[in-house]
Amino acid sequence: MKARFAALAALVLSLVLSAPALADDNAARKERRTPVLVEFEGVDAIGNELASKLSQEINKSNPAAPEREATFHLQLSSAVEFETRPGVGSVYAAVWTFSQTGGSIEFYLARDLGVVTRDTIDTVVRRLVQRTDGVAARYGYLDRDKK
C-alpha cells in the first residue's frame, strides 16, 4: 500500500513540476500550421470521453486545408484504473510523434501520463491541448515545407 501511495505521489509531483514547461496556449495556436491527428486506443468509458473531447479541441485549432503531408500525431491510450470499479477513473498515456509523410517513420517527440476521472476530464483536455500546442511550437521546424 505504501509503495502504491509513493508511486501515485511521484506521479502527481511530476505532473505539477511539468506544468511550467507548457507553452502559452494562444501563442502556440497561432504558430501551429501543421495538423495534429489524435489516435485513440482503449475500451474504458472515461478514456473514450477524454479522447472524444480532446479530438474536438484539437480539431478546432487544426489548419483548415493543410497543403502538405507532414503531421503531428497524438497517440492516446487509456485503461480502467481499478478493474473492480470501472467508473471511478482511468489511467492514460499520451505520446506525441511527427511524420513527414503518411507512410514515413514517426519520430518520437514527447510523452505524458496520468489519471483522469469524470470530474477532471475538462482539465486534462485543456492540459493536453496546451501540451500539444507546445510540442507543435517546439518541433515545428521539422515540417520543412511549412509556409
If one counts every other C-beta atom within 10 angstroms of the C-beta of residue 136, the result is 26
pLDDT string in tens for the chain (147-residue length): 555 545 554 554 455 445 444 444 444 445 567 888 899 998 889 999 999 999 999 988 776 556 667 889 999 999 988 877 767 889 999 999 999 877 778 899 999 999 999 999 999 999 999 999 999 889 888 887 655
Say which amino acid occupies 97. Answer: T
- Name the residue among 68, 47, 65 with its Cα closest to residue 128: 47
Q: What integer pLDDT is reported at residue 17 of this predicted model?
A: 46
Count: domains in the chain: 1
Whether residue 135 lies inside any domain: the answer is yes
Distance CA(29)–CA(130), nearest Å, equals 9
Q: Per the confidence metrics, is the pTM higher than 0.85? A: no
Distance CA(31)–CA(78), nearest Å, equals 29
Whether residue 147 lies inside any domain: the answer is no
Report the CATH number at residue 8: 3.40.50
What is the grid cell recorded at 48? 473514450
Whether residue 58 lies inside any domain: the answer is yes
Cross-strand partners of 116: 90
Distance of alpha carbon 1 from the chain centroid: 30
Whether residue 87 lies inside any domain: the answer is yes
Whether residue 9 lies inside any domain: the answer is yes
What is the grid cell recorded at 78? 487509456
- Name the residue among 120, 118, 125, 102 with its Cα closest to residue 56: 125
Whether residue 6 lies inside any domain: the answer is yes
Whether residue 64 lies inside any domain: the answer is yes
Q: What integer pLDDT is reported at residue 142 of this predicted model?
A: 86
Distance CA(74)–CA(40), nearest Å, equals 8
Whether residue 73 lies inside any domain: the answer is yes
The parent domain of residue 55 ranges over 2-142
Distance CA(88)–CA(73), nearest Å, equals 28
